[in-house]
Chains A and B, each alone.
Chain A
């Protein structure tokens, strides 16, 4: 521990902690812009400067390790003057049209500017001197250089958390900017559309591409039937966008709000999450049988999950040799979309051409996924519009709904039922746990041997988790698995995914089944989730997800009554012909750069 003084108060922090950490411990606020809890130190915005006794220059508190005996002041005349100058300088390069801006009222730059009451500018406007570019090519987000403060959070995110490096710092001096490989449009680089950079951008330089107006138009159009699906992770985060505490569970309120907004039918992605378990679980067992019993060398193991479109695009770019290892299952969003314009439209006697299918997702990559040419198995675009959790929050505000006092409502039926197994899809390890709950029971006829169905070893925010389940007492059909040790791994965040892929490639890992989510923490930490998202908030959302699971009556996907019914009425067998047509997909190899 080291002990130092900040504003004449003593504080002790572990060795390696920064002055900023120490100040926070004392509840002393220091503004930051480039600093982000999830990322390595940058120390480039300089807005966090403080005074260190004995030092001629100011020091950046986010970058300077606390030292024994330091004497720090955070609010001297020099500090205040420097910070004001720095904020002003940022604004000089920044197209400050807040009232027309997507991040208005939730912008870190705006907040610092406001805190330092920057009114009339001292310095000269430099915006017109720059050749700022707006890149709208990605289906998931817009990159507007005129809003960029060069904090490099996005670059660090993409490199450190996602191991993608689709964006990097280019040029120097006044020309310095965040750029893609050869300045190509974001739609034509290795970007996975995960939106992690969007979530960490302090300004509107990176924002999701919104479809709010299109969805309102569909709602107002009397000739359309708007059906909404809500992803598991949205219900534990939406509250944050509407002023509630992190980790608040707002499922019922969210459904009520959507109904008040005029959505014709409010349904649940959880339903297709359960369906995914049926399809993916069956696929895994079939692969195991073919590989272990039939000795089929063509069968690729380990099998990788395919629910996360950011991960899919990553593997398409980086490890195309392993595309056969991907489960062919569509993500729950796309399964839902395909069924919305077939099964659902049929049941409700609707013209599928008039069904507008909207999904509410914690994810920006889902916008890209919905646009994939493969995702038209209903004969139409299966999912018309994808909104992020944040966009739904905005729409609820626009509708004038007081979210806090809303009476809870229930999902509509036909594709509205779900189980606890589906809810946990929202957290890293959840798909694995849900799959194990079902697969184990199919194979052995008994529940997974974990207390209260909680498979704790696959839970938690550790980057790569490994577990194995011994299969004993198999029913007749699955006798060949008797005594087998099912080895699984779980990774979240693409940097961790890459570690797993390298281990698999180098023959250092003998997994059967691997769950991978592109985003840190899984979907609860998705790029479309409320800002800010950090480790503490991810943990609260994860906790909420498991609480939601615990209070469900049904907690195993194969017990979902609507799932049982849809196989009987419409799909036939899991992995059967119809299921393949609607619920499965294929992948494409993409350029490596």
Chain B
């Protein structure tokens, strides 16, 4: 197990000359760009962790004339606020990342799907976008971007629901396959990436894929922006090298009394104190889209779980059975166990149900409810029951 330790990085928020970088990138061949990103080992920063270079390669392979690059700025995962920070501090890097993705796959149009709660940023973002359009024209490249606002539903962050939403339909996840690279927004080949992924890809083009992959671990190369919240004296946004243990993280951010860290938000895993030392934050251990929430001993893990389940009961799109009804069952189940109205052994049935939800739900939401449920119930059973 490689533990990189806690290393602060300044890549994402580093101010760079975007225009100069774009001129360099547009001189590269499409294949070369894709290859750099593949070499970097970059995996999606939106949560699912799909290799970004591969995604671009698939989309580039499609023969359609009309293709899209979509930036996922829906940032709905509880405890995540890093995309907002990126858009506030370096929006020009997001735009440039999209332009490079567009070049790599042959798309002339990009759409930024912005979380409705971030609407207040739009005037500023739009005027910067106008500038960006101007400068990209000066370089002589044909690429335009536009903003679309979300409508406040967590599920609209799921890529195919997001497409439906852009198309003016109800935000419900689609059946996959076909995947977005084949059948994305408006039925066209689409690369959809998280805000941070796009900026990271831009920086990969700047520093080179091989250089980037020197950071982090073989499974989790590079660095990542974390949103730190909960019981910590230092909440906020931090860019750190991937591959540290939870222990190292807690040493830095904990308040001395940390009993658990929820890694990856409601859809992620709860790591208890006894596992801090041997759990890597990254794809070989617990992956995260950025959310890191610390809990100290004053917190009831029952309340924490109750909270997450409440969230899922409401934020499931409701279309598929395991997720819609399963979430309600889990919530009602732990409430009744807590009240002593049903036996504690019922938690075992609920764990099996969570497993069915993981296996049979239509999208990542239902599939990941079991992460929080099982990791909290397994590690804090006594807090759930008593």
Contact = CB atoms under 8 A, between A and B. Distances in A.
B318 A46 contact: no
A89 B326 CA distance: 7
Given A126-B329, A172-B153, A82 B359 contact: yes
Contacts of A92: 325, 328-329
Interface in A162-194: 168-169, 171-176
Contacts of B362: 43-44, 46, 60
24 contacts: A42-B319, A43-B362, A44-B319, A46-B320, A46-B360, A47-B321, A49-B359, A57-B360, A60-B362, A78-B359, A123-B349, A126-B329, A129-B328, A149-B321, A150-B324, A168-B170, A169-B170, A172-B315, A173-B314, A173-B315, A173-B316, A173-B317, A173-B318, A174-B314
A320 interface: no
Contacts of A47: 321
Given A57-B358, A85-B356, A173-B315, A41 B175 contact: yes
Contact of B329 (A44, A81, A89, A152): A89
Interface residues of B, number: 36
Interface in B290-316: 312-316
Given A49-B360, A124-B332, A124-B336, A176 B325 contact: no
Contacts of B329: 89, 92, 123-124, 126
A63 B175 contact: yes
Contacts of A460: none
A105 to B, nearest CB: 23
A553 interface: no
A90 interface: yes
A483 B322 CA distance: 65
Contacts, number: 118
Interface in A58-97: 58, 60, 63-65, 78, 81-82, 85-86, 89-90, 92-93
A123 B353 contact: yes
Contact of A174 (B172, B321, B324, B358): B324
A126 B170 CA distance: 25
B328 A126 contact: yes
By Cβ-Cβ distance, the 10 closest A-B pairs, closest first, are A176-B318, A89-B325, A63-B175, A85-B356, A43-B175, A44-B319, A173-B314, A82-B360, A173-B316, A44-B320
Contacts of A30: none
Interface string A33-63: 0000000011111110100000001101001
A45 B362 CA distance: 9
A394 to B, nearest CB: 30
A122 interface: yes
B327 A174 contact: yes
Interface in B329-370: 329, 332-333, 336, 349, 352-353, 356, 358-362, 367
Interface of B: 153, 155, 170, 172, 175, 177, 312-322, 324-329, 332-333, 336, 349, 352-353, 356, 358-362, 367
B328 A65 contact: no
A129 B313 CA distance: 13
Nearest to A47: B321
Interface of A: 41-47, 49, 57-58, 60, 63-65, 78, 81-82, 85-86, 89-90, 92-93, 122-124, 126, 129, 149-150, 152, 168-169, 171-176
Contacts of B352: 81, 85
A122 B319 CA distance: 22
A448 B282 CA distance: 79
Contacts of A45: 320-321
B296 to A, nearest CB: 30
A60 B362 CA distance: 8
Contacts of B349: 122-123
Contacts of A123: 329, 349, 353
A85 B350 CA distance: 11
User: Residue among B153, B175, B352, B367 with the most chain A CB within 10 A?
Assistant: B175
Contacts of B314: 172-175
Contact of A58 (B153, B175, B320, B359): B359
Contact of A126 (B172, B319, B325, B367): B325
B255 to A, nearest CB: 34
Contacts of B326: 85, 89
Nearest to B174: A43
User: Residue among A49, A89, A150 with the most chain B CB within 10 A?
Assistant: A89
Nearest to B335: A124
B321 A175 contact: no
Contacts of B172: 169
Contacts of B312: 173
Given A82-B356, A86-B356, A172-B155, A46 B175 contact: no
Nearest to B318: A176
Given A124-B332, A175-B318, A81 B356 contact: yes
